[in-house]
A and B are shown apart, each in its own frame.
Chain A
Amino acid sequence: MKARAFSYFRAATIDQALDAHARAGDDARFIAGGQSLVPALSLRLQAPRLLIDITHIDALRGVRRDGGYLRIGALTRHCEMLSEPLIAEFAPLLHAAAPFVAHPAIRNRGTFGGSVALADPASEFPAMTLALDAEIEIAGASGGRRIKADDFFLDLFETALQPGELITAVFVPLFKADQRFAFDELARRRGDYALVGCGMLATFTGERVDDIRISFFSVGNTPTRVKGAEATLIGSSLDAERIAAAQAALEGDLAPPDSDEVPPAMRLHLARVLLGRLLGRLGEGA
């Protein structure tokens, strides 16, 4: 199928993009990598009258240190998560997740900001912004703001973004020497969306966990932090008993949706298996 006819506008600045969106009202969409939007247009799940191409806006590009944060521009491509040295050093969880996002050619065009804006509950990066305690920077007609990832994902494909607002960057606290991370997912085929996926970031004193943030994807309507499991692990040295307690806590943290393909009980089981595996790796210093 082919997309319904639309007009195309290439924005050179954030203001131009916001302005064009305001003038077109609900009938406009921003296009970044297009790796989710173009299929949606071809299937006519969406039929906006105007596409606003944001990929030529320089202010949305680049990765740099900004105080205690790494500022990752919205247009940072998935492949740059693998090639950019600042990401490997200061946001290694994103570096670890990137190879699981789609296939190489899709990673060459898909953008970090597009993935976070879309908020697909099966996507790797939105969930990782939760584990990382990241902040999303947003530009809109009424000015700019920064919002915690914890407050950003509201429901299925629904975020704190208002119509016409643009994600400009994501701020990730710099990875520190006393921190460890782990990431993995279970999928039927490499590059497919995960049946269950998980990433975590923990701060240690010696072998004791002082703080831990664990985020799952493909287990509900939004990326999901598992606060019950996190709480059982604080103060732990990640021994078998505490890991088992965290796995048990998932029952209260997660409520996988019913689906013909993967029954909720199976998804919960897979989540426990994955959590055990990742905490084991974290305990070994990985």
Chain B
Amino acid sequence: MNHSDETLLDDADETVRVRLVVNGRKVACEVAPRETLVDCLRNSLELTGTHAGCEMGACGACLVQLDGRAVHSCLMFAVQADGAAINTIEGLSDSGLIADLQAEFHRRNALQCGFCTPGMLINAHELLSQVAQPSREEIRDALSGNYCRCTGYEAIVDAIDAVAKARSAGGGAT
């Protein structure tokens, strides 16, 4: 990715090849440097489960896992992710890792339009991988960067709380 002197400033409109491991599969795509990761995931890789809302880091709809941690895909450029491993909501769903969270969201009506739900699930997954038994206060705190316009947050907190308890009790929530 290094440029020689004269091209340092002159390839702004050219595309760059980036290699990623997305949902466990090696992929390469051509991106302009100014293309954000969320746009690359949605447009080039057709992984439209990751949503673009505010594109300012405020709503949480665009969360993905980058090298194992939740990050906003609207707050980085795809070129920055060259060489990284990314899991989107599609990958997490297919893996079955969050099946209990998804079932509990469904059961408790913790989604209506579903626009915010992928980000909510990625954040909930991150929280539960760090704190086995978060308090409701901690759940609220962890979700403070995710906007949901439809359900209110009570049902979402309930769902995450229920999964945490079920996992700690040794089973799944389902």
Contacts and interface: CB of A to CB of B under 8 A. Distances in A.
Contact of B71 (A6, A24, A105): A105
Contacts of A191: 144-145
A157 interface: no
B33 A6 contact: yes
A108 interface: yes
> Most A CB atoms within 10 A — which of B9, B72, B123, B140?
B9
B56 to A, nearest CB: 5
A99 B57 CA distance: 17
A106 B80 contact: no
A226 B55 CA distance: 37
Contact of A7 (B11, B57, B144): B11
| Size class of the contact patch on chain A | 35 or more
Contacts of B33: 5-8, 51
B27 interface: no
Contact of B145 (A4, A6, A10, A106): A106
Contact of A109 (B12, B71, B145): B71
> Most B CB atoms within 10 A — which of A5, A31, A102, A189?
A5
Interface string A136-175: 0000000000000000000000000000000000000000
> Most B CB atoms within 10 A — which of A2, A31, A35, A103?
A103
B71 A38 contact: no
A176 interface: no
Contacts of B32: 5
Interface of A: 1-10, 20, 23-24, 27, 31, 34-35, 38-39, 41-43, 49-51, 53, 55, 79, 99, 102-106, 108-109, 189-191
Given A7-B3, A24-B9, 18 more contacts: A2-B34, A5-B33, A8-B79, A8-B80, A9-B1, A9-B3, A38-B75, A39-B56, A39-B75, A50-B9, A51-B77, A103-B60, A105-B71, A105-B72, A105-B126, A106-B145, A108-B69, A190-B140
Interface of B: 1-3, 5, 7-13, 16, 32-34, 36, 55-57, 60, 63, 69-72, 74-77, 79-80, 82, 123, 126-127, 140-142, 144-145
25 contacts: A1-B55, A3-B77, A4-B34, A5-B12, A5-B34, A8-B33, A8-B77, A9-B1, A9-B3, A34-B76, A34-B80, A42-B36, A42-B56, A51-B77, A103-B144, A103-B145, A105-B63, A105-B70, A105-B71, A105-B123, A105-B145, A106-B72, A108-B71, A189-B144, A190-B141
